């Protein structure tokens, strides 16, 4: 295995809350599409300070998350810049996590947040059919970001 920095994919949300697990599912789908060792993939409930050092080791960071403030099935992507802070240590936003990583001494690195609109987030360990299709789209979009990054 090479020591060269690799992209880091973080799929997060609650997989016991139906479509809130879309980030996890998209990360799983993306990992299956990538060649072994092409990226590091993490699935977690929330973004916590313990992830900050991992960001520092990555060439690019892609966050995958479910969104309840956009139309079900709609997938979006936006760059993330390091900013903000929080007294809350159990849950950080991607921008806060990036900032913490830089405060701990890591160089700034490109990062993107890919979000998919959720249909429902009720108790349940399966995605809705809309959620499953959205997760597939999220994985596609994330893969395109990885391709762009490696060609750029």
Partner 1 sequence: MSERILIDPVTRIEGHAKVTIELGDDGQVADARLHITQFRGFEKFCENRPFYEMPSLMARICGICPVSHLLASGKACDAILGVNIPANGARLRRILNLAQILQSHALSVFHLSSPDLLLGMDSPPEKRHIFGVAAAAPEVARDGIRLRQIGQQIIEILAGKRIHPAWVVPGGVSAPLTADKRDQILAMMPDGIAALQRTLDRFRGLFQRFPEEMASFANFPSLFLGLTDGHGNLEFYDGPLRIVGADGTVIADRLHAADYPRYLGEVNESDSFLKSAYYKPLGYPDGIYRVGPLARLNLVTNCGTPQADHELGLLRTFAGSPLLGSFHYHQARLIEMLHSIERMQELLNAPDILDPQVRAFAEPNCEEGVGISEAPRGTLLHHYKVDKNGLMRWANLIIATGHNNLAMNRGVKQAATYFVRDGKFSEGALNRVEAVVRAFDPCLSCSTHAIGQMPLEMELRDASGALLETMRRE
What is the binding site for partner 1 (CB under 8 A)? Answer: 45, 49-50, 52-53, 85-90, 96, 99-100, 103-105
User: Nearer to partner 1 by C-beta: 125 or 148?
Assistant: 125
User: Nearer to partner 1 by C-beta: 90 or 147?
Assistant: 90
CB 22 within 8 A of CB 121: no
Q: Smallest distance from the beta carbon of 82 to partner 1, in angstroms?
A: 11
d(CA 127, CA 15): 8
User: Nearer to partner 1 by C-beta: 33 or 85?
Assistant: 85
d(CA 114, CA 74): 11
Q: Smallest distance from the beta carbon of 91 to partner 1, in angstroms?
A: 10
d(CA 141, CA 132): 14
């Amino acid at each position: 295995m090479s020591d060269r920095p690799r992209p880091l994919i973080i799929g997060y949300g609650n997989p016991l809350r139906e479509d809130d697990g879309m980030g996890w599912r998209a990360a799983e789908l993306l990992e299956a599409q990538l060649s072994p060792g092409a990226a590091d993939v993490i699935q977690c409930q929330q973004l916590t300070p313990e992830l900050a050092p991992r960001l520092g080791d990555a060439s690019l960071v892609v966050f995958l998350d479910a969104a309840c403030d956009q139309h079900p099935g709609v997938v979006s992507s936006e760059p993330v810049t390091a900013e903000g802070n929080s007294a809350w240590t159990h849950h950080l936003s991607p921008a806060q996590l990036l900032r913490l990583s830089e405060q701990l001494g890591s160089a700034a690195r490109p990062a993107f947040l890919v979000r998919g609109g959720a249909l429902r987030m009720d108790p349940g360990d399966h995605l809705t059919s809309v959620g499953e299709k959205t997760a597939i789209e999220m994985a596609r979009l994330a893969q395109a970001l990885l391709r762009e990054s490696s060609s750029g």
